[in-house]
Structure 1
Amino acid sequence: MGKRSVMGFIVVLVAVLCLQPVFAQGGKEAAATADMPYKGQTLTISMWGYNMDLLVKNVLKPFEDTYGVKIVTETGNNSDRFTKLAARKENPIVDVAYFAGTWAYEAMKQGLIQPYDPAKIPNLANIIEPAKDPLGGRYAVGYTIQHLGLFYRTDKVAPLTSWKDLSRTELKGFLSIPGITTTYGPAIVYMLSKAWGGDFSNTEVGWQKIAELAPSLVTAYNNSSELNALVIQEEVYAAPYTSFSWGNIKASGFPVASVIPEEGLVGSFSVASVVKGTKNEDLAHLFIDHLLSYEVQMAEAMDLVDSPVHTGVKLPAEIGENLTYGDELIAKLHFFDEGDTAALQADWIARWNKIFSK
């Protein structure tokens, strides 16, 4: 073999040897893609923005890393996000929507969400029965249970024992309640009706008490972040609070205590639904299954974000006491029919606006 031939052979051999790692890497990449069929896709989620740093850590980032997808979030309260979802009904850009039960019920009625396929959510088998289908028709899954209770500053306010105590003179100018369009706004009417009128259905009494409370309020808060800010600024000494916000209220550094009023607490599920018309139906189901997984449910509970519905999650006492967790607390929860509340929503919003426009 001549010198030129030998050199040519060496050049070809070196080229082949250099290409082998590239081919190997290419094969590895193809295998990874086969294992991650949704890699490179984008999933858009309509959700609340409260505790977003922890939601990214516990829920969103692990899903992105596991499945190679990008998550885009659209955040806001129930009302704002519902309005956007309805406006884009014919051409939805959201794939999964989080709502309070009443708003999810209305989304179901208006054809904004679709029934889920239980075969695509295997973790349904691991959650408490009422969370599997809280609306009926498989339109939503309850991914967390929560409650509305009362808290107060122990250095400023005598202990609260009843929902009636919101009317105490000493709270005038230092009280807040959730607005009517929030998750628990309607529940305030029910609880005041029970406290003052003896029955949840005696809502005329509840509305009378709302009107009497209005001048005593610093404001009616629109989300838990707003309430937390009012606590930190020492503008609010007592308020109904959502269980998922308790960790941040305690972190304010002020002496605060939560109570189970004699009339009980308001219980509810936050739910996740597949948006009707999504182009990412399988990926949407996969995300909801992820939301119900032991790992996510445990992580969210340990960070005092969401109370678990996964039956396998067992919490230390010092964590569980800050969440909607434990037989004693669960026994004190009152759940209100989402359909009934949704039917009243338009009238109650108008009634609320009339009171607070004065």
Structure 2
Amino acid sequence: MLSINEIHQGDCRNLLKQIEPNSIALSVWSPPYFVGKEYEKYLSYEDWVELLTETIKLHYNILKPGGFLAINIADILCFPDPAIPKFQSRNISMQRSPITKEQILQAKAENPDLNRNQLAALLGCSEQTIDRRLNGNNIRGGKYETQTRVHLVGNIIEQAGYEAKLYMYDRRIWKKDPSWMNSKWHNSSYRAVSEYEDIYILWKPGETVVNRDKLTSQEWTSWGSRAVWEFSSVRANREHEAMFPVELPKRLIKLLTEPEDIVLDCFMGSGTTAIAAILEKRNYIGTELLEEYVVLAKRNIEEEKKKIEMKNRQLKLALVSY
């Protein structure tokens, strides 16, 4: 059996089988999003779906009856899909020349013997503008980029859970800082800028004790019973490409577990969930595929423990002085 309060290296699909059955009060994690991060480039779309569904299904055996699985993920998955017909948007707002495709076609019809350079001189624009208008926006030689597939993830999670007899219990929305402000989506399509992620909460059948005393009345009012949680993203992902703020697992741990319960994170990354568990006086088990992140998580956990120890010492000194 995997020991508690440790980060274990390896594929979570193998390591979850080594966790004591019916021992995990809450599993909270954020899987690879399949958006091209360095640590997920080994996954095809099919591999990614298999990783997500298998990991969910392995939770039935290890969760306590009445326990929870919380998955933080951006519900809209976006990735290149060669199967989608290729069309290039004509972004009028970014065109430097006012010359339109219709004007070029009219000029060609009236002057069939003119080549592209001559047409450009006639219309007072560059030959590149002629090529772009006729062959697609910012495209040379008629080559079009692979289209982006926009795919919802929630149904994958719900179906995998249902097949494992883990049932959808709740969904919270994390409203974060808007992202992708400088991306081609923001500049050249009607797609919205991403500014929230979902937290899907699955439940293993069994008695769940509801104890509102775990939160203060202010906490219940501000977030405990609210569907939308608003707090900032991690400002700089220098240590890991996809860090979430400690507030996210901390709220879930405080809401859905009791002191001394065991909290699991299958994709531990930089150690955020373990730190949240320590802050809330819970135990934890972490699994992580890459050795460099195991080392990183352990270092961050030890640094947090030192901060807690220093704070406790200062508190004791303050009490003695008082």
Q: TM-score, normalised by structure 2?
A: 0.23
Give me the TM-score of the superposition, normalised by structure 1. Answer: 0.21
